[in-house]
Structure 1
Amino acid sequence: MAARVFSVCKRIVRCSLFRERDARLIFNKVRSLSSSEEEYNFQTLTGDLEGIAVFSMNKASSRNAISRDFLIQLQNAMDAVKYDKSLRVFIVKSDVPGTFCAGADLKERAKMKMEDVGRFVTMARNLVTELYHLPVPTIAAIDGVALGGGLEFALACDLRIAGCSSKLGLVETRLAIIPGAGGTQHLPRLVGMSKAKELIFTAKILNGEESEKIGLVNYVVEDNKVYDKAVEIASTILPQGPIALTMAKNAMNRGTEVDLTSGLQFEEALYAQVIPTKDRLEGLQAFKEKRKPVYKGE
C-alpha cells in the first residue's frame, strides 16, 4: 500500500508542480482574457499582493449562471494558475451585486438535446474536481446568492467567505434532479452526513451566519467586505512555502478519502517530496538568520 501511495504522490507532484511545457504561453494568453462584454475576467494582483490570481464573474443578465462559456473561461483561468509558479492563491468572486452564482443556466440547458445535457454535467463535474485539486489554495468569495451548481463550485474551493445576507443552498431536488457537480460528495465532507442529507432533501437555503454555524463557510462578514476578507486571508498565505502548501493540500484532500493508516502513508510520501527542495533550505537559513524567507517554489 505504501508503494502505491508513494507512486500516486509522485504523479501528483509531476502534474501539479513541475509541468512547464507551454506554461508561459498559456499564462500570457489568459492573463488578459475576458469576454467582449467583460462577463468573465482573470487578473493577477500586484505589489504586496503579487502571487494572488482572481477570477471574476460579471454576467448580470444570467446572474453568473453556469453556461458553456462559463466553464471554458474558468478552465482557462485555472490553466493559467496551474502552470505559473508565481501564482500561489486563487480567488473566485463575483462583480454582480447580490449574486455569486445562481446555478446552472437553465435557459441554455432547455435548448440542449437530451444527450448533450449529460455531457455538459460531466464537463461541469470534471471542472469542479479539477478546481478541488488545483495545486494552490483556493478561496470562494460568496457575496450574494450561491445556489445549486454555484454552491458546488464554491464547495470545491479550500476556503469560503460569505456575506451576512448571502443565500447558499443545493436546491436541485426542487427541480426533480440531484446535485451533479460534486455537491453530494463535498457537502457531507464539510458539514457531516446527517446535516448534508437534511439540506439536500429539503433544498433549504441558508444565510451567511447559518452557513458559518455548520461549517459550510469559514467566515461570515459584512456583504461589502467579502472580497476584502478573501484578499486578507490570501495575503497571509502568500509568505508560506508554495511547495509545502501544495503538498499539505494534497495530503488533506486525498488522506480524508481513505482510512487513517493510508492517509498517514500519503502524508509520509508527500513530506518526502519537500525535503530536497531549495525552499526548505531557505526556510531553515531564514530561521537561523532571523529574517523572512524568500520562497521561489523550487
Structure 2
Amino acid sequence: MDFGTYKTLLVEKRGNALLVTINQPESLNALAAAVVEDLHALTGVLGGIGRDAQWPVRGVIITGAGEKSFVAGANILEMNSMDSAAAAAYGRRMHEVTLRLEALPVPVIAAVNGFALGGGCELAMACDFLYASANASFGQPEVNLGLVPGFGGSVRLQQRVGIGMARELIFTGRRIKSAEALRIGLVNQVFEDVESLLAGAKNTIEEIAAKAPTAVSNAKDAINEIAGLNVADGLEAEVRSFMKAFETADSVEGRAAFVAKRAPEFPGR
C-alpha cells in the first residue's frame, strides 16, 4: 500500500505500526492549513486499510518532530488574518480529519512529547488513546485569546475526563503536565522520555497485531457508536457488532483454532 508523500508529514512503517510525524518543528508543529490538508489526505488513504483483506499496518502512531512539541496548537498567525467564515472552514476541515481518525479500521495512538495545547490536545483526543512522555503538557488555552475550542475540544474533552473537569480546564485555559493528565484519565500511560514513549506505542501496536484484524476494527466501530447511547441502545448496538464479527472469516478461524488448541492464522476478512 502506498501511503503517499507529504510536505509537512513524515510517514514511516515500523513493523506493524505506521509512524506519522508532524514535521514542522520551527512552528512547534502548529496545525497550519498545509498540515491540516496533509493530515486530511493521509487519513483518506488510511481509510482503505483492510478493505481488500490486506492489512499493511495494524495501527498508527501520531507524534511531533523535535523535543519541544507534539502540536503546539492551531496556527494563530494564519488565524489572525481570517474572518469568521474562513475560521469556520478551517475548523470544519480539521473536524473531518479527526472524524476520519476515529473511523480508521486500525487503532491510532497519540504519542505526545512536549506541548499538546489547543488543536494539539484536540488532535490527540481524536486518537484511540494517548501515551505521553514525562515532559508532555496538555491544555485548551483558547480563552486566553478570546476564543473557544474549535477542533473538537468541547466534545472530546468531556468524553475523556468528565464534564466538570472539562469545564474547569476550558474555562481556566490551564495547562497540566502528563502526571496530572494521567490522574484525570486523559492519558493512558506516561513514559520517561521520547524514545521509551515511541517504543511503548509500537509495542502496543505489535500486541494488537496478534489479534484478529477484523475483530479489532469491529470493536473500534462498536465502541465509537456506543459512546453516545443509553444502556439499552448501547446493548443493541453491541449485539449488531457481535453478529457482524461472528460472521467474519477471522472469527471462524479463531474459534476453530481455540477448539483445536492451536495458534490462529487470521485471514484478515
For the superposition of Structure 1 and Structure 2, which TM-score range results when normalised by the shorter chain? over 0.9
Q: Partner of 2:237 in structure 1? A: 266
Match of 1:146, SS state, is: strand
1:103 paired to 2:68: no
Q: Equivalent residues in 2 for 1:19-34 (5 A)?
A: 27-28=1-2, 30-31=3-4, 33-34=5-6
CA drift of 1:105 comes to 0.7
List runs of 5+ in structure 1 lacking aligned partners. 1-26
Q: Partner of 1:9 in structure 2? A: none
1:139 paired to 2:104: no
Given the alignment, which residue of 24, 28, 31 partners 1:59? 24
The one-letter amino acid paired with 2:29 is N
Q: Is the 8 A contact 2:125 2:157 kept in 1?
A: yes
CA drift of 1:141 comes to 0.1
CA drift of 1:235 comes to 1.0
Structure 2 CA distance, aligned partners of 1:255 and 1:65? 32
TM-score (norm 1): 0.84
Deviations 1:98-122 (A, max 9, x none): 2100000111222334421211111
1:84 paired to 2:49: yes
The one-letter amino acid paired with 2:11 is F
Deviations 1:32-90 (A, max 9, x none): x132xxx3112222xxx23x222111211111110111112112222232112213211
Given the alignment, which residue of 157, 165, 171 partners 2:127? 157
Given the alignment, which residue of 252, 257, 269 partners 1:286? 257
Work out the number of aligned pairs and report it: 263
Q: Is the 8 A contact 1:42 1:77 kept in 2?
A: no
Q: Is the 8 A contact 1:55 1:77 kept in 2?
A: no
Q: Partner of 2:185 in structure 1? A: 215
Match of 1:206, SS state, is: strand
Structure 2 CA distance, aligned partners of 1:200 and 1:112? 23
Structure 1 CA distance, aligned partners of 2:105 and 2:243? 17
1:72 paired to 2:37: yes
Q: Partner of 1:43 in structure 2? A: 12
The one-letter amino acid paired with 2:10 is N
Comparing 196-205 with 249-258, which one deviates more in the overlay? 249-258
Q: Partner of 1:14 in structure 2? A: none
The one-letter amino acid paired with 1:176 is G
Structure 2 CA distance, aligned partners of 1:246 and 1:125? 21
Match of 1:140, SS state, is: strand
Structure 2 CA distance, aligned partners of 1:195 and 1:124? 24
Deviations 1:118-168 (A, max 9, x none): 111111122212212222211000011000000001001111001111111
Q: Equivalent residues in 2 for 1:115-264 (5 A)?
A: 115-224=85-194, 225-264=196-235
Match of 1:228, SS state, is: helix
CA drift of 1:286 comes to 2.0
Q: Is the 8 A contact 1:104 1:148 kept in 2?
A: yes
Structure 1 CA distance, aligned partners of 2:252 and 2:84? 56
Structure 2 CA distance, aligned partners of 1:292 and 1:127? 37
Q: Is the 8 A contact 2:253 2:266 kept in 1?
A: yes
Structure 2 CA distance, aligned partners of 1:134 and 1:182? 17
The one-letter amino acid paired with 1:287 is F
List runs of 5+ in structure 2 lacking aligned partners. none
Structure 2 CA distance, aligned partners of 1:254 and 1:114? 32
Comparing 62-71 with 138-147, which one deviates more in the overlay? 62-71
Match of 1:248, SS state, is: helix
Q: Is the 8 A contact 1:90 1:136 kept in 2?
A: yes
Structure 1 CA distance, aligned partners of 2:89 and 2:205? 34
Given the alignment, which residue of 257, 266, 269 partners 1:295? 266
Percent identity of paired positions between Structure 1 and Structure 2: 30
